[in-house]
């Protein structure tokens, strides 16, 4: 009787388990995150990226870097607002995909704009402020990506690891500045304004939460 009662109690508990804790969630998010890359590769092979495929690849990888950055920053506020702590399981993966698409963005520039000539790349970066700022954001993401593993957390300690990963706020601001300067030449700030508003809300939510926690 005790075994049967325990089994009956376990079944409702399993049914109450949040969907976000399902083992399939991470693989699904991983595959979905590769979707933009698959679409761009397909478009390059099928010649459907428009009249200037190189520009389309550079801009699309940059756009997806910003989108994944917004998704990564949204995890903590959404976890608090929706009371879904299981969302934290996806933050590390989304952060790594932000770096991945940022690296692709830089490689597309280095290859399609500069022909993968290191001397030309090094000479070009400081000449154009928006590329300099974008490169700085990518370099700032490098230690975050390199320490996004449990072994790194244990080696650094939780406090130092958290302090290091607060650099994501600087990455967000540099990414916005990079996008702003890139669009300034055409005086087109519509899309930039959307990203700025989203990132402003997400960073503002974190500031409010930290202020309330201190009180």
Domain ranges of the chain: 23-214
| Rounded CA separation 125/127 (Å) | 5
Which secondary structure element, helix H or strand E, spans residue 87, and what is its range? none
| Rounded CA separation 45/172 (Å) | 32
| Rounded CA separation 72/141 (Å) | 13
pLDDT per residue rounded down to tens, the chain (215 residues): 444 444 454 444 444 457 888 889 999 999 999 999 999 999 999 999 988 999 999 999 999 999 999 999 999 999 988 888 889 999 999 999 999 999 999 999 999 999 999 999 999 999 999 999 999 999 999 999 999 988 998 998 989 998 999 999 999 999 999 999 988 877 778 899 999 999 999 998 888 877 877 77
Which contacts (CB < 8 Å, 24+ apart) does range 105-108 have? Answer: 105/58, 105/61, 105/62, 105/65, 105/134, 105/138, 106/134, 106/135, 106/138, 108/54, 108/57, 108/58, 108/61
The pTM score is: 0.88
For helices 129-146 and 158-165, the axis angle rounded to 10 degrees is 160
């Amino acid at each position: 009787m005790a075994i049967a009662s325990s089994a009956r109690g376990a079944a409702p508990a399993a049914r109450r388990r949040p969907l976000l804790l399902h083992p399939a969630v991470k693989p699904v998010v991983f595959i979905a995150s590769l979707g933009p890359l698959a679409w761009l590769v397909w478009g390059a092979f099928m010649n459907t990226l428009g009249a200037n495929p190189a520009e389309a690849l550079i801009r699309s990888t940059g756009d997806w870097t910003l989108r994944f950055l917004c998704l990564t920053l949204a995890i903590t506020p959404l976890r608090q607002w929706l009371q879904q702590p299981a969302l934290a399981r996806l933050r590390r993966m989304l952060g790594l995909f932000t770096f991945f698409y940022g690296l692709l963005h830089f490689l597309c520039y280095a290859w399609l704009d500069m022909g993968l000539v290191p001397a030309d790349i090094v000479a070009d970066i400081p000449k154009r402020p928006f590329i300099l700022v974008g490169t700085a954001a990518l370099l700032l993401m490098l230690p975050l990506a390199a320490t996004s593993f449990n072994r790194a957390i244990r080696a650094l300690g939780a406090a130092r690891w958290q302090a290091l990963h607060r650099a994501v706020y600087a990455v967000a601001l540099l990414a916005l500045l990079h996008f702003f300067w890139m669009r300034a030449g055409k005086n087109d700030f519509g899309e930039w304004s959307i990203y700025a508003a989203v990132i402003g809300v997400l960073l503002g939510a974190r500031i409010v939460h930290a202020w309330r926690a201190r009180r």
